[in-house]
Structure formats: C-alpha cells, structure tokens
C-alpha cells in the first residue's frame, strides 16, 4: 500500500516531505492540535496545541541532514542511551529511515476512537546487524488525543534466536519560557546518577528541582507521573510513562551550549529535556518476547495541574 493511498484512508493524517525529501506525517486533532513525525528517526519534530503554540523545542541551529540527528523534538534513543556502550551516541534508531506500518493491529479497541495516530516500523539493516547483531522489530505508535495530548507507544520485539539487552529513552525537548523560572515536581527524595560526576549516585535533596547551572542526571525508579511547571508561561507539562523506570533531566547551561555546533549559545534558557527512560538497568528480551514503553505528554494551564499528578498513563 503506498503512502498516498494510506493517507487517504485516515482522517487528520497528511504526508509531506522534509528538507531532505524524507517523508513526514502530520496528524491533527479535531480541535486543531497537531503533531509532525519525521520518518527520519521516527522523530516527533513538532507538537502544537489547538492555539497553534509549539510545545517542543527545536534548536535554531539544528542540522536537518542525515546522518546527523536533529536537535529538538523527541528523538528515540535505542538500543543505547548516551555513550555508555559501543554504538554511536544514543544508538542508531534516531538516524534511520522508518517505514509507515500498515499491518499493525490496534493496541486496544478503545484506542482509536478518540485518537488520530500513525504507526511506524523499524527493522535492522545489514549495516546495523554488523554493529549490533540482534534481530528486532520496533513498532512506534504516535497518537494525538481529542484534547491535544501526545502519546508515544514503543514496542520492541526480539525476533532473534538469542536474548538481547538494550537501553532506551524518549529524549523529550520541552519548550519553556525561561529555564530559571521552571521547576520539576515528582522527583523529590529520589536517587540519581550524575553524569557530570562519572555517574556517581546522589540523593535529591530539594523540595522541587529548579535550575541555576548545568544538569545531566538519571533519576532512578522514578514515579510514572511528573510535572514540569513553567511559571512565566503559567503552563505545566504532565509527563506520564509506563515501562520506563527512569527519568533523565538535562539542560546544558551556558558553557556546554557554546561547545555544541547545532545549538545556539543562549538557547539553553528556552529548553529542558525530561526523558522517560530505561537507562540504569538494561531491558533484556528473550527470543519472541516484546517490551512496551509508553510516554504521554499533556500541557495544561498551571492553575489546575496538581490534580493531574494522580492520573495514570491511559
């Protein structure tokens, strides 16, 4: 089935090309929220609310040319997070061209009634198998609810004859008004691995996490609902996750920003990465086994956000 034919079958689903000729899929909710997903990396590159406001950060200096991953949106880190392994930084999934998956069964019968979605599929190339010799099928469903909430469901299946292990993250670049006015709730008292101190383990002491210098941490065994409060915008992001025990928090601050060619010197003020992840302990799949990791993002007015912390990922 061609992409064009596929698009005709689906309301709120439109296929366009990016700067390099790679397909990207736009999905829209009836109220006007939208998500743009690039088949380069299976990466969400835009998420707008019904007022058309962009909720994800993309660097003005981002490089949109494979094999460079684009700095912004939600890159998929698989089968490695960071440089803690033999593969390229954050693994190869974010640098591969994914396919639209026409064959996928619904995840559950209620799922499609209120969501516009697209299903993508990644299988390893011969080159991938040379550097990471494990056969897998990675299915990604990106959905937009009627209310404009964004959800990503990843399913990784081992179609290999032997077990394999991987780490994973949804490397989510949230757009904020001013990093010094932002705080995170839900990670208090947790242990974290500090990537600025050779992954040494510390315990979070603050009531809420605020930002006044570079932060690069893996909060281990984190709750499945976290809130990111942007005081200036009076907006709160609710991050819900399932199957992903860790939360990575990253902001490069000023010195690190100046060393990154695809990132503006002052752009650290407008972004914060809060990643649903499985980093501390690798996920291991036996032959035929499948793992599922879910992320759901909501953006709500800050006045009524504290109630949301009780909601599980739907």
Residue 24 counted as an annotated binding residue: no
Q: Is residue 1 part of a domain?
A: no
Cα-only R_g, the chain: 19
Count H helices and E strands in the chain, helices first: 3, 21
pLDDT per residue of the chain (314 residues) written in tens, 0 to 9: 334 334 334 556 788 887 667 789 999 999 999 999 999 899 999 999 999 999 999 887 666 666 666 778 999 999 988 766 666 667 788 888 899 987 766 555 445 446 899 999 999 999 999 989 999 999 999 999 999 999 999 999 999 889 999 999 999 999 999 999 999 999 999 999 999 999 999 999 988 999 999 999 999 999 999 999 999 999 999 999 999 999 999 998 878 877 777 666 778 899 999 999 999 999 999 999 999 999 999 999 987 555 555 545 54
Residue 139 counted as an annotated binding residue: no
Q: What is the pLDDT of residue 104?
A: 67
Q: From its phi and psi, is residue 82 left (phi > 0), alpha (psi between -120 and 50) or beta?
A: left
Q: Residue length, the chain?
A: 314
* Residue 32 host element (H or E): none
Q: Which of 62, 68, 250 is nearest to 169 (CA)?
A: 250
Domain span including residue 261: 8-103+114-306
Q: Is residue 311 part of a domain?
A: no
Q: Is residue 186 part of a domain?
A: yes
Q: What is the pLDDT of residue 223?
A: 97
Q: What is the pLDDT of residue 260?
A: 76
The structural domain count of the chain equals 1
Q: What is the pLDDT of residue 109?
A: 44
Phi and psi, residue 183, nearest 5°: -140, 155
Q: What is the pLDDT of residue 310?
A: 52
Q: Is residue 59 part of a domain?
A: yes
- Residue by residue, DSSP assigns 42-62 as TEEEEEE-TT--B-B-B-TT-
Residue 94 counted as an annotated binding residue: yes
Assign residue 36 the CATH number of its domain: 2.70.98.10
Q: Is residue 314 part of a domain?
A: no
Please count the other Cβ atoms lying within 10 Å of the Cβ belonging to residue 11: 9
d(CA 155, CA 182): 32
Q: What is the pLDDT of residue 68?
A: 65
d(CA 95, CA 119): 18
d(CA 82, CA 195): 10
Q: Is residue 145 part of a domain?
A: yes
Q: Is residue 77 part of a domain?
A: yes
Q: How far apart are the first and last CA of the chain?
A: 31
Q: Is residue 313 part of a domain?
A: no
């Amino acid at each position: 089935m061609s992409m064009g034919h596929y698009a005709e079958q689906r309301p709120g689903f439109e296929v366009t090309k990016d700067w390099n000729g790679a397909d990207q899929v736009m999905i829209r909710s009836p109220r006007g929220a939208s998500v743009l997903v690039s088949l380069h990396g299976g990466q969400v590159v835009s998420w707008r609310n019904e007022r058309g406001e962009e909720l994800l950060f993309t660097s003005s200096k981002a490089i949109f040319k494979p094999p460079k991953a684009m700095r912004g949106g939600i890159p998929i880190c698989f089968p490695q997070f960071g440089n803690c392994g033999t593969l390229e930084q954050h693994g190869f999934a974010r640098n591969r061209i994914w396919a639209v998956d026409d064959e996928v069964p619904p995840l559950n019968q209620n799922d499609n009634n209120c969501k516009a979605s697209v299903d993508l599929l990644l299988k390893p190339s011969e080159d991938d198998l040379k550097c990471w010799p494990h056969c897998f099928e990675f299915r990604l469903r990106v959905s937009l609810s009627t209310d404009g909430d964004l959800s990503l469901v990843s399913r990784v299946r081992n179609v290999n004859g032997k077990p394999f292990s991987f780490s994973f993250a949804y490397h989510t670049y949230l757009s904020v008004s001013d990093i010094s006015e932002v705080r995170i709730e839900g990670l208090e008292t947790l242990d974290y691995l500090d990537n600025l101190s050779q992954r040494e383990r510390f315990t979070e002491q603050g009531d809420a996490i605020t930002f006044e210098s570079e932060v690069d941490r893996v909060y281990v065994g984190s709750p499945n609902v976290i809130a990111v409060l942007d005081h200036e915008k009076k907006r709160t992001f609710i991050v819900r996750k399932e199957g992903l025990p860790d939360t990575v928090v990253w902001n490069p601050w000023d010195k690190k920003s100046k060393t990154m060619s695809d990132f503006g010197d002052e752009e650290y003020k407008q972004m914060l990465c809060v990643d649903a992840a499985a980093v501390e302990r690798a996920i291991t799949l036996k032959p035929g086994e499948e793992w599922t990791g879910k992320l759901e993002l909501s953006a709500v007015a800050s006045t009524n956000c504290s109630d949301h912390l009780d909601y599980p990922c739907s």
